[in-house]
Structure 1
């Protein structure tokens, strides 16, 4: 069994424990781990899988699990490119979120931040989504191109209407871009992983044996991940906007108006830094599902009452 799958399957962690686990996995140093170190860690886990699971107090084992879980895809057992590892999400998307919410006078100034956000989010979601279904390389390229174009359009078009319309309510005008960004992030997950509910993803028994491909499990995996993105980007976008709204009413802003953007950027990074591990921890990575809730052909293929599948990040 793939060590990462074995870990998430056997470690029945609470939300708080998963949050602490993700805090370690989101360490920025995980972006720069050499391939040789990752291979050594994987070899250690593969040669002593059962012992490694129960010997988490050993610092060598802890470090091996950290490297493996942070850099290797559980479905394909392949290295995740550094730019798209979970630890890269915060440093790459925080500036994009900030720039996407900056008040603009022309559409040109919002195109690059919105397009960058949609492009990175699409690539991140495809790379870290469930990879157990059959797909060809050109399908991923065509899908990614379509998702980038469509989600960028849905992100830009409402902003254009907002600029042309005469919305007098200042608070509403400031929070609408955050609502648009939140909606786009959820749409991006659903669109970039749209093959999973159509073709189905692998469901496994407790031994890691593949029982079949379930479209219902694929639908739930995408739905749960989209929900976690709404929580992540919704909170990260709305809190800085609300904070900025009230900060503008303080004497400090009147005296130092240029401090607003520094404060807003700092707030965005801080909130996202707190929300990334929270959103990743909302649902287990390897989720359990009752066999009775799956397709009839899967129910007929096993006597197990509970099966497992990889949700993806």
Structure 2
């Protein structure tokens, strides 16, 4: 037991288990922390996992803890606690809830796309869900006011509704498959608005950047723009395969006689299929870019760049920051 304790104390609990400089390493990491099974873990077990992680950071390990138990505690911690604040995130906003929450909303958006009231309702539900996810996974070092949250929510919801309703009316005479793709267009357009608006403080005031040893060097607006742009791309990529390929699949399936007899099962079927896509696309999309993003010092704002160069010379070629999810 003593040998195990010594070995565990050598584990850097804040370093991901897999190499984050490679896509495969990031994919394994995000498959781990976006595991939807962690959603049903009890609050008590999550709190115990936090105690284990914080104990390890402090240089102690609870007696009897194995290496796998330590990694499992870190998995639960990463899935439920914010990386910046250490506070427990609300359940619906966690990335591990993207599969159960996203599959229900995506499936219904793809199924109920024919009437304007249905389009309005499901786009509103989706943007409400997205707003909560974006707020929960923001970079917490840049606070946002209730007013700014409200403006971001209303702007994104209005963009989604305008896109969805406008395209819905425009595609009335288009082939049925084109109309089925309207929800994805609305989701993509809204993501381009929702995420930057929800994280506007980072764009206005900059995001905290550090050197490779985690020493804070200042705040950068350019770093914020880069990080938020990557999050927007990831979110659109997360939705794209399911919302583009699933309509094609349903278009083919609905031509079969047996599918015409079970129309009441079309919505549950789309929900399940959407879940299948999201189960893989949530970690894939999160893994597209490193969580700890970097930007070259030469590409920073002149005042910040000059400050870093004056203090460190050429010893700090890159700065690092948490881009959020």
The TM-score by the shorter chain falls in which range?
A: 0.7 to 0.9
The verdict on how the C-alpha distance between 1:4 and 1:282 changes in structure 2, with shifts beyond 3 A counting, is farther
Per-residue deviation at 1:81?
2.3
2:245 alignment partner in structure 1: 239
For structure 2, the 5+ residue unaligned runs are 1-10
- The residue matched to 2:218 in structure 1 has which SS? strand
Deviation at 1:244, TM superposition (A): 0.9
Rounded Cα–Cα distance in structure 2 between residues aligned with 1:142 and 1:30: 32
Structure 1 residue matching 2:181: 3-state secondary structure:
helix
Structure 1 81/164 Cα, relative in aligned 2: closer, same or farther at 3 Å? closer
Contact conserved, 1:71 with 1:80, CA < 8 A, in 2?
yes
Distance 1:237 1:18 in 2: 24
Deviation at 1:264, TM superposition (A): 2.1
Q: Which residue of 1 aligns with 2:4?
A: none
Deviations 1:16-58 (A, max 9, x none): 1211111121223433343531331222331239x9xxxxx92
Give the match for residue 162 of structure 2.
Answer: 157
The equivalent of 1:54 in structure 2 is none
Instruction: Note the residue ranges of structure 1 that are not aligned, 5 or more in a row.
Output: 52-56
Provide the aligned length of Structure 1 versus Structure 2.
301
Q: 1:144 to 1:269 in 2, by over 3 A?
A: same
Aligned position for 1:36: 47
Residues 105 and 176 from structure 1, CA distance in 2 versus in 1: closer, same or farther, beyond 3 angstroms? closer
Over aligned residue pairs, what C-alpha RMSD do you find?
A: 2.7
TM-score (norm 2): 0.83
Equivalent residue, structure 2, for 1:14: 22
Cα distance in 1, alignment partners of residues 200 and 256 from structure 2: 46
1:118 corresponds in structure 2 to 127
- How far did residue 312 of structure 1 move? 0.5
Distance 1:274 1:79, change over 3 A: same
Is contact 2:110-2:243 (8 Å) kept?
yes
Task: Report the equivalent of 1:48.
Answer: 59
Note closer, same or farther for the CA distance 1:296–1:10 as it changes in structure 2 (3 Å cut). Answer: farther
1:248 is aligned, of 247, 251, 254, to 254
In structure 2, C-alpha distance between the alignment counterparts of 1:257 and 1:66, rounded to whole Å: 40
Partner residue in 2 for 1:147: 152
Which residue of 266, 285, 291 maps to 1:279? 285
Please name the residue that 1:24 is paired with. 32
Does the C-alpha gap of structure 1 residues 265 and 68 become closer, same or farther in structure 2, counting only changes over 3 Å?
closer
Cα shift at 1:256: 4.2
Deviation of 1:259 (Å):
4.4
The counterpart of 1:101, out of the listed 110, 135, 150, is 110
* CA separation of 1:186 and 1:158: change in aligned 2, threshold 3 A: closer
| 1:101 CA displacement | 2.3
